[in-house]
Amino acid sequence: MNVAATSAFHLPDRLAAKATPALISSDEEHFAAIARTVRDSVADASARLDRALSAPSGVGGSAVERDLKIHRLNARLAMFRRYGIEMCLGRIVTADGARTYIGRLGLIGADGHQLLVDWRAPAAEPFFGATLAEPMGLISRRRYRWTGGRISDYWDEAFTAEALAAGGALDDQSAFIASLGSSRSPRMRDVLATIQADQDAIIRAESAGALVVDGGPGTGKTVVALHRAAYLLYSDTRISRGSGGGVLVVGPHQPYLAYVDDVLPSLGEDRVQTCTLRDLVPEAAGAPLETDPAVASVKDDGRLIDAVGAAVRLYEQPPARATLAETPWADLRIQAHDWEEAFDIDTDAPHNDAREEVEHAAGHRARSLRGADPTRAAETCARAGRCAHPDVQPRLAAARAAEPGGGAVDQPWIPEAMRAMVDRRRGETAAARRRASVDSIRSSTARRRETPRGRP
C-alpha cells in the first residue's frame, strides 16, 4: 500500500521549478489527509471483514447478503492496498476558487470532508471534459504522474487569462503526450489520468440504445469501452449496485480477455463478466478450433451468414406427396396441398422455430378439412397416457358425461382450435338427448292407445 510517509512529491532535479512550495504546498496537505484516511479505512475494512468472516453464514437471503458484504469489503481493501494515495488522479479549480480532487474511488475524511470525488460522479466530469473552447466552469486543471507511490511529475492547464497570468507548472508537454512515451505492458492499462474530452464524451454518453465506437487499430476503442462499462455500472440505475443487472464483455479470444482483465478492477469495478463468442453458444463447447487459416477466414466473414441463409431457403420446400403425421389425438394424413398452404404462412421466425409453426398450420388445415372428432381423439389420447392439459379437462369431461354411459376423461389435451368443436358437440349431444326423450314419450303413448283395455 502506497501511503505518504513524508512528501508525496518526488520530482527529479530537472523539474525543480515544479517543486516550489507555492505550487505544491496545498497538495501536500491534502495528500497527508488522504494518507491518514486510507490507513484508517484499511484498518476499519479489515476489522469489518474479520467480523463478517467469523459470523455464521446463515441461510437464504442472509447468506447471500453476507457473501456480498465480504465481496465488497475485499474489493475495497484491494483498491486501497494497491493504490493508496495514488488513487488521486488530479485536481480542478473552479471560478470561485474551490479545489476538487478526483480519484479512482470516492473518499471522505473523518471530519466528513470530501477528500476524493469518484471519477464517474457528475462533479468530476469537468476534469475530463473541459477544453479551452468549453472550460465547463474551470480556471485550471492539474494531472499527476505517479511512480512508486510518489508524484514524479504533474501538469497544469489554464483555462482563463487570469489563471494563465498567475502561472503554475505550465509547459509544452501535456499529460497525454507524456503518457505516449511510457513503457508498454503485457496487460492493458487504464487511461484515467489522460482521458481526453472526446473520449470522455463516449464514456459518459446516454445509455439508451446501442453505441457503436468505430476506429482503426490502436485508436483506443477497447480501453474507452471498458471505461464506459465502469461508468455505466456506477451511473445507470438499471445495472448499478443492488439492481440485479450487470455488464458482459465479449472478446474474440481468451488472450484478449487476459490482456484487458486488469482494467476494470483498476477503475473501481469488479462486477463485470467476460467471455468469448464460443462461450455464448452451447454447441461451441465441444467444437474444435479451426486450424486452417483460409477456412477460418471464411467462417469469420459476415457474408457467410447470408450464404447459409440462402442455402437454407433453397431447401425450405413443402413435401411433394402426402405424409402421415402422428399426433397426440390421432394419426393424421397431411396432403401435399395442405403442406403448400402451410408453407405460405407469413412468419418472421428463424428456420428451426418456423418449422413448428408450419407443422401446426398444416395439421390444423388437415383436421379442419377432414372433420376430426376431438372428444373421441382426446379420450383415446388420455387413455394412452400421452396427453396432459388440465385447462381442457372440464370441457371434455362435461362433453363425455353428456353422452349415454359417458365418464370423465383423465388429463386430456386438444389444440385450442378444437375447443369450439367440443362445445358444439356438447350442445348437439344435449339436443339429441332431448329429442330422444320426446320421441320415447310419444312412442309409449302410442303403444298405450293401441293396447285393448283389460289386457296386459
Contacts of 206 (CB under 8 A, 6+ apart): none
Pairing of strands 88-94, 247-251: unpaired
Distance CA 173, CA 42 (A): 36
**Residue 396 pLDDT greater than 60, yes or no:** no
Using H for helix, E for strand and C for coil, what is the string for 136-196?
CCEEEEEEEEEECCEEEEEEEEECCHHHHHHCCCCCCCCHHHHHHCCCCCCCCCCCHHHCC
**Residue 443 pLDDT greater than 80, yes or no:** no
**Tens-digit pLDDT profile for residues 264-306:** 888 877 778 888 888 888 877 788 888 888 888 888 888 888 8
Closest CA relative to residue 102, chosen from 84, 83, 111, 115: 115
Mean pLDDT across the stretch 360-365?
70
Residue with more model confidence, 389 or 149: 149
Percent of the chain with pLDDT over 90: 21
Distance CA 87, CA 266 (A): 9
The DSSP result for 262-305, as a single string, is THHHHTT---EEEEEHHHHSGGGGGPPPP--HHHHHHHH-THHH
- Locate the domains of the chain by residue range: 1-181, 183-286, 290-372, 375-437
Please give the grid coordinates belonging to residue 433. Answer: 338427448
* pLDDT score at 115: 96
Mean pLDDT across the stretch 228-254?
82
* pLDDT score at 171: 59
* pLDDT score at 417: 43
Q: Assess contact for 312 and 351: CB atoms under 8 A.
A: yes
**Tens-digit pLDDT profile for residues 49-65:** 999 888 887 777 788 88
* pLDDT score at 436: 53
Percent of the chain with pLDDT over 70: 70
**Tens-digit pLDDT profile for residues 72-116:** 888 889 889 888 999 999 999 999 989 999 999 999 998 999 999
Contacts of 317 (CB under 8 A, 6+ apart): 343
Distance CA 205, CA 134 (A): 17
* pLDDT score at 100: 96
Q: What does pLDDT average to over the chain?
A: 76
Q: Assess contact for 125 and 200: CB atoms under 8 A.
A: yes
Residue with more model confidence, 259 or 146: 146
**Does this model's pTM top 0.85?**
no
Distance CA 153, CA 172 (A): 14
Residue with more model confidence, 97 or 339: 97
